[in-house]
A and B are shown apart, each in its own frame.
Chain A
Amino acid sequence: MAAVTLDVRDVAVRRGGRLVVEGVSFNGQQGELLAIMGASGSGKSTVLRSVAGLDPLAGGAIDVGGVRLAAGRTLPRDGRKTLHRAVGIVFQFHHLFSHMSAIDNVTLAPVHALRQSREAAVGRARALLDELGVGGRAAAMPHELSGGEAQRVAIARALAVDPAVLLMDEPTASLDRARRDDLGVTLRALAAQGRTVVIATHDEAFARAVAHRTLLMADGRIVPGG
């Protein structure tokens, strides 16, 4: 059995005094492509944000990359570094840094968070962009990219620190059918490299077609047998 890279136990998240996620538990294994399905507002994006360390927990715990996230506990500085090195996230709207070219978006974290040399970071970024089929757009600014291109640059940015876990929020939201199929292939390949890939999507057909395993969320909880 493959190693567990992500362990989410009984997680609760509060927003504006209201619990938006409650009692969510699941785990992810090395090489596994996991899909969390659910309608918008079901809490699936919030779960991803919590795993990425962006939303604090109100209950439960998450073990990822050797770091434990728990309610009422702020990570020390090096803990945060370890977490962000272990977990990459691709947002629904990509959130590419609007003032930087595609390649600068990709090299930012390796150079500044990991203190890699610029040459090494650029070399790896070019390889990632090529691999994802957007090598020709390295010099483009985010507003010059199409939705599909921006997503691939965002994936390259998340992969630049070589995380063990890759999270993607609504990856098919802005893609046409052909691009959706391409994305499915890409995600499978990423999992095959030994990463844990977790996607949150309301696109059930896509999820069932590409994922090794699916979870269904509704009203902030996992639906048993979904």
Chain B
Amino acid sequence: MRVVLLPLMLALVVAAATAQSGAEFRWGGDAEGGAPFVEADPQDPSRVVGFDVEVADILARGLGRTARFVQVGFTSLDAAAARGDFDIGLSGIEDSAARRSRLAVTIPYYEFREILTVRDSDRQRYRTLADLRGRRVATLGATLAYDILVAAQAEFSLVAVTYEDDVHPYSDLALGRVDAVVLDAVLADRGVRRNPGLVNQDTDLGVGYYVGVLAPEQSALRDRVNEILRTAMRDGRLEAVFRRWEMWNEDQPRLYARLLAGDAVELQRTATDSTDTWAAARRYFPALLQAAVITLVLSCAAMALAVVTGSLIAAGRVYGPRSLQAALTAYVEVVRGTPLLLQLFVLYFGLAPFVQLPAFIAALLGLGLNYSAYESEIYRGALQAVPQGQLDAARALGLSDRQALVLVRGPQAFRLALAPMTNDFVALLKDSSLVSVITVVELTKQTSIFAANIGSWVVPGALCAALYLVLSLPLARLARRLEKRWQP
């Protein structure tokens, strides 16, 4: 088997390496972003369509190469560009000071406005951010809109809720989980189209630009790309693209005129804008600590739920009637056999039409129930490992089955289970980072917001790792001490 695999893998590596060079223009984007940016062609899912696809084609043609799409998750686009995984990243990427300082950034090819979307019934009530005092307002993490909301959070004491995608903010707005969404007009138009009952307010909250990003050492290629973009602005090819995607408006000709006149585009200053890593670290540290507290509280509560539920499942599987045993076994296999991420999605988004769980509760249930399956297996094994002599002694003393379980078998099994349980708790602490997909901002999410803001993962990553260790090491110590005390 290995003999066959090795040459095959080598061949793939070689093919991948040759594909990188030559007449291809590799551009990275996230097809999950969907229309109008990049999406899989509904007619042929192996192809992508969208305005970014057409911009990439213009660039490739200008360079005399053929465009080739590389799928990269949106939040990884900057890092992948810096690594040189592709020639250019194009996926509705916003211009920002952090990107300009870490990457080679093209001139803008589209100008957008940040706007407020609300439910139709709130059209009169919520016209500006100031009207949303104390309300929950959704956006996409690590965007200009997020920065605007963070500033508004301090100014108007509203609650910013970050999502990892731009679809669920609007569906949650329609469901009433949040009271407004702030995102760029392109996303807002799509959100309103998909969710009847939502309206876009015409208040202008900020202006931003879509740019392409390249590895910092690719400034020569960037300059050529800029020339091609300017030519396409002049000869109307870009206009045609945006007209086709119904995105053309009067802001674009003004932007193009400025760019063709050689003016630099000024970025809107935001409160969190920074290229000074240490100043940013100082500014973000309280938020990281707060996120660490959320991680800790969530993990402890989820573990408590997992321990209680897991114990009940284990008791049911050891003592229960055959039908109960079968049902519990099925539960354990289904929960263990499907991804936690999927379970979180189902709990938070999937159940939303029937029951709207608050994000933290959904996170707690998802993590707790997922881990209960693992805990139950540990306890079942531990229960079965308690020596028969101990059970005989309990019975001979006249203890009922329940008393024998609670007073003798359970506590002894718990001691046996302690080491694997500690292991699971440490794993849960880190798995809790998955709940950011359902808008809970915990340690890892806050770190990635921080990293996106300053355009580097080095300092945020180190701080994040240190905080996780601070949380998990005392736990491991405590468990070791308990084990020492209990084990003969």
Residues of A within 8 A of B (CB): 49, 52-54, 77, 80-81, 83-85, 87-89, 91, 93, 95-99, 108-109, 112-114, 141-143, 157-158, 161
Contacts and interface: CB of A to CB of B under 8 A. Distances in A.
B12 interface: no
B390 A113 contact: no
Contacts of B387: 95
Given A91-B393, A98-B390, A113 B488 contact: no
Given A99-B415, A99-B486, A113 B399 contact: yes
Interface of B: 387, 389-390, 392-400, 403, 407-408, 411-412, 415, 486, 488
Contacts of A88: 396
Contacts of A108: 397, 399, 407
Contact of A91 (B392, B400, B412, B486): B392
Rank and list the top 7 A-B pairs by shortest CB-CB distance, nearest first: A84-B398, A143-B488, A113-B398, A109-B397, A95-B389, A95-B393, A89-B396
B283 to A, nearest CB: 51
B389 A91 contact: yes
Contacts of B389: 91, 93, 95
A80 B415 contact: no
A98 B488 contact: yes
Contacts of A143: 488
Given A91-B392, A91-B393, A108-B407, 18 more contacts: A49-B392, A53-B396, A83-B398, A84-B396, A93-B389, A95-B392, A95-B393, A96-B393, A97-B412, A98-B412, A99-B415, A108-B397, A109-B397, A112-B407, A142-B488, A143-B488, A158-B396, A158-B397
Identify whether the interface residues of A are mostly helix, strand, loop, or mixed. mixed
A222 B226 CA distance: 105
Contacts, number: 65
Identify whether the interface residues of B are mostly helix, strand, loop, or mixed. helix
Nearest to A77: B400
A126 to B, nearest CB: 18
Contacts of B486: 99
Contacts of A157: 397
B398 A80 contact: yes
B397 A54 contact: no
16 contacts: A81-B398, A84-B395, A84-B397, A84-B398, A91-B392, A91-B393, A98-B390, A99-B411, A99-B486, A109-B397, A109-B398, A112-B407, A113-B397, A113-B403, A158-B397, A161-B398
Contacts of A114: 398
A108 B394 CA distance: 9
A116 B339 CA distance: 51
Contacts of A97: 390, 393-394, 408, 412
A60 B138 CA distance: 77
Nearest to B488: A143
A167 to B, nearest CB: 9
